[in-house]
Structure 1
Amino acid sequence: MMCVWPQVETREDEEQSIKLAEILELLLAAGYFRARIKGLSPFDKVVGGMTWCITTCNFDIDVDLLFQENSTIGQKISLTEKIVSVLPKMKCPHCLEPHQIQGLDFIHIFPVIQWLVKRAIETREEMGDSVRAYSICQFQKSHSLPEDEEFLQRKDMAVSAVLKVLEVYKPQRKYRRQRDAGELQKEESRVHSTLLEYGR
C-alpha cells in the first residue's frame, strides 16, 4: 500500500503540471502574455489570466478584481472568492471553489479557464470592428495619410472642373410659351411644355 500513494501523487502531479501548461497556452493564445513571465508564480499567472479574461469580457460586475502580483494570503483569498462569485453571474457552466484556485488544482481550473478564454475571444471579435472604426476616426481627426492629401487635391480639381461644366452647360431658355396660349390643365403637359422651352 505504501507504494500506491507515491504513484498516484506522482501521476496527479504530472496531470497538474500538464494542465498548468495547457492553461498557460490557452492564456497566451487569448492574448494574456504575462503568462510567459518566468518570475511569476503559477498562482499569479493563472489568477492574473482569469482576472484579465473576466475584464476582457466587458462583463458588468460590482466586484473590484484588482490583481496584484505577490499578494498576501488575505489578498489572494479575497481575490479568489471574488472570482468565484463572478463566474455564476457570467453564466459559467463550470463550478469552481476558492480553495481549488488557492490550492492550484489545475485539473478543475482548466475547464473554467477554457470557457473564460473562449468568452474573451468572442468578446474581442465582437468589439473589434467598433474599436477599429473608433481608432480610425480618432486618427483621422489629427492625422492624414499621403493618399488622403492626394485625394483632397484631386477632389478640389474635380469639383472645380464639374462647376465649370455646370456653368457652360447650365440650362438656357430657348423658347418661350406665348402668352395668349391657353393654360395647360394636365401636369404632364405643363412639364413637357417647360422642357420644350429649354430645348429638351
Structure 2
Amino acid sequence: MVYSNDDIRELYRKIATIVKYDDKGIASLKDLQKEPKWKEVNFQDKCEGDNSLGDLLLKHATENNNTRVKDFLLQSGCKPLQQEQITAAINKEEEGQNTPDIGENKANGFVDAQFSVPNEKEAKYKESKENFYTSLTKDVVGVVITGLFIAAAVMVPFVAGAAICGIIAALGAVCTELHIKKFTLPSYREMEKNKVEHVSSKTAQIL
C-alpha cells in the first residue's frame, strides 16, 4: 500500500487515540488492524524518501513528544535505530540551515562591538566637554559680575552704597567658588577621563 502524507498523519492520530484510552497498556497492532482501512497496515512498508512507514510514524511521535505512541510502535516491530538515523539527519539539515544565520549574527555582533563602544565613548566625551564649557562660562560670568561690584564698592562715594556693593561682590565670589568646586572641576575631570578613552579607542581602531 502506498501511503500519502495525509494517510500517515491520519494513521498517527488513530494510534494516538488507541493508546490514549489504553489504561492497561495492552494495546497492540491488532487493535489498529480491526478497522478495515488499516487491516493490511505494515510498518515496514516503504514510503517517499526510502523511509519506512514505521520510521515516519516514529518521527511524528518524537516531534510531538508522545512516548506512548513511540512505545506502541516499538512494540509493534518498528526499529528505533532507523528513527535515530532519521532524527540525526533532520538535526543535521536544520543545523546546516541555521549556520549562516549564526550567531552572520556573530559577524554582526563583532561589527557592533567594534563600532558601538567607540561611538558611545565619543558621545560621553562630547557630553562632558559640553558640560565643562557651560560651567566655565557661568564661572566667567560670575567673576565678571563680582569684579564689577568690587569696582563699584571702591568708586561709590557713599559708605552705605560701598558696603552694599562689597557684600554683593563677596557673595558673588563665594557663589562662583562653590560653583567651580561643585560643577566646573568635576566636569573637567570627567572630560579629561573620557578624552583619554576616546583617544585610546581611536588608536585601537587604527591598529
What TM-score results when the alignment is normalised by the length of structure 1?
Answer: 0.24
Structure with the larger helix share: 2
Higher Cα radius of gyration:
2
Q: Which has the higher contact order (CA 8 A, sep 6+)?
A: 1
What TM-score results when the alignment is normalised by the length of structure 2?
Answer: 0.24
